[in-house]
Amino acid sequence: MIPDDLLYARTHEWARVEDGEAVIGITHFAQEQLGDLTYVELPEVGQKLAQGEEMGSVESVKAASEIYSPVTGEVIAVNEELADNPGLINEDPYGEGWMVRVRLAGDPEDLLEAPDYERLLEEESH
């Protein structure tokens, strides 16, 4: 459930960092906590993101939650499918449910590797 090729923020976003770019989404744990998603608000292409700052939000039937960017950089692509089908995030949070692609401005700092993120989830569930 926790892919080991990704980096994780303590606020439950993930980043797949490759060749100076990162794809960003929310984790399986996050989507499971929220339940069926009904709305996603994402940044636009060209927007500058700073690590740790709010980049959008998600709403589910029962709750709403902010999404914080796990990286610093410029948005170069947005998953347009999510506008009409936010359920993709529930079904496939690390694949079809990706949110944005970012051209990195510097390396992200203090993100967790999979085993550390797994430990964080264990702590949160106690």
**For binding to other proteins (CB under 8 A), which residues are involved?**
35-36, 38-39, 41, 57, 59, 61-62, 64, 86-87, 90
In the chain, DSSP assigns E strands to 7-8, 13-18, 21-26, 37-41, 48-49, 54-60, 64-68, 73-78, 100-104
Query: Which CB atom, from 62 or from 126, has the smaller least distance to other proteins?
Result: 62
Residue 39 CB, shortest distance to other proteins, in Å, is 4
φ, ψ of residue 38 to 5 degrees: the values are: -120, -15
Residue 49 CB, shortest distance to other proteins, in Å, is 18
Query: Which CB atom, from 41 or from 92, has the smaller least distance to other proteins?
Result: 41
Residue 38 CB, shortest distance to other proteins, in Å, is 4
**Residue reference for tokens 């996603």:** 40
Query: Which CB atom, from 45 or from 64, has the smaller least distance to other proteins?
Result: 64
Mapped onto helix, strand or coil, the DSSP state of residue 48 is strand
